[in-house]
Amino acid sequence: MPLLHRLTPSDMITRVGEIMSNDADLRALEQLNCDYIDSVQHGDVRRFDQILAPEFYCSNPDGSLLDRAGFLEQTAKPVTISGLEALDVQIRLMGDFAIIHARTRYKLANGQPGGGRYTDVWARQGGRWLAVSAHVTRLG
């Protein structure tokens, strides 16, 4: 017969604390994901400067790989899409590391619909979540 492990009050506090921490982390990452998408849509270099880690890299749909400085430079260029939104967002939290997967929908400059997928990697550094990597694809 299997033995049941009884939780001590100390175990229960730790587990409740972990759950509460996970909820707070998920809420923070949800907001950061919204900030990231909003910053892409509006070319918000200042916000990206706040949420990108020094070691950030981005793989673009054209196959180019940009470091943080290159990404900020790209972000400062005029935005040619409108109505950018993230759909089917999945946040995978693994301690001090998180991966966000989602698909996008937007309108191209010519009014045609566009879309793609992205994967962003976040790491907790110095008590803050910072984006360390992004990979962007476009469909069609």
Q: What's the rounded Cα separation, in Å, for the pair 105 and 82? A: 9
Q: What are phi and psi of 111, to 5 degrees?
A: 90, -10
Residue keyed to tokens 């001090």: 96
Q: What's the rounded Cα separation, in Å, for the pair 76 and 66? A: 14
What's the pLDDT at 28? 96
The model's confidence at residue 8, banded by pLDDT at 50, 70 and 90, is very low
> Do the beta carbons of residue 128 and residue 101 sit within 8 Å?
no
More confident residue, 23 or 72: 72
Output the pTM of the full model.
0.83
What's the pLDDT at 134? 98
Give CA separation, 89 vs 27, 31, 37, 94, 118, in Å: 13, 12, 12, 16, 10
Q: What is the mean predicted confidence (pLDDT) over 46-50?
A: 98
Residue range 9-138 in CATH 3.40.50.300: no
Please give the distance of CA 129 from its chain centroid, rounded to a whole number: 9
- pLDDT tens profile 76-121: 999 999 999 999 999 999 999 999 999 999 999 999 999 999 999 9
